[in-house]
Amino acid sequence: MTTRTRVVLLAALLAPLAAAQANRSAIYKIDFTIRDTGDAGAKSGRKYSMLITEHQKSVFRVGNRVPTATSTQGLSSQFTYIDVGVNIDCVIEERDSKVAIHADLDLSNAVNPNAAPNPTISQIKLVIDTTLVPGKPSVVASFDDPVTSRKFEVEATATKM
């Protein structure tokens, strides 16, 4: 077998591997840090991390499911369950050595969970479309809670894996 034949054979064997590597989606760890800046004891905030493959939606849910009555007939009731806590849906894409991020954040809690049949739910919903420099924390949202005097800040960091 000649050297040229070996090179052609090796190239033919490695071509599918090279193509698969070229089409491989990037994986990032996305850290969201949510701070209640009105709370002096919570300066570090709460951190939520998720691994995300480029172009694929990732979903993060932490909290409780609170029942709410949707219909009542006689002595029986039908219930729907609402996710309360921190809910994050996120999609990323690499763009020119940066990371474009689309994130839906839902921060909610049951204000009066024992108020049968329907508790009061407090909710803050954010839709974030921004670009991050990998490895650099960036404040992507800052807002005052319209119901309380609390102030919130959301920081995001993308780290390539």
Residues 55-80: tens digit of each pLDDT = 999 999 999 988 888 887 777 778 88
Is the pLDDT confidence value at 105 over 70?
yes
Farthest CA pair distance, the chain: 88
pLDDT of residue 20: 44
Give the residue among 106, 119, 129 at the shortest CA–CA distance from 59: 106
The helix (H) or strand (E) run that includes residue 65 is strand 58-73
Mean pLDDT score across all residues of the chain: 84
pLDDT of residue 47: 94
Report yes or no: 34 and 60 within 8 Å, Cβ to Cβ.
Answer: no
pTM: 0.76
Residues 87-97: tens digit of each pLDDT = 999 999 999 99
Domain boundaries, the chain: 25-64+85-111+119-160
Give the residue among 129, 157, 134 at the shortest CA–CA distance from 34: 157
Question: What is the rounded CA–CA span in Å between residue 43 and residue 105?
Answer: 20
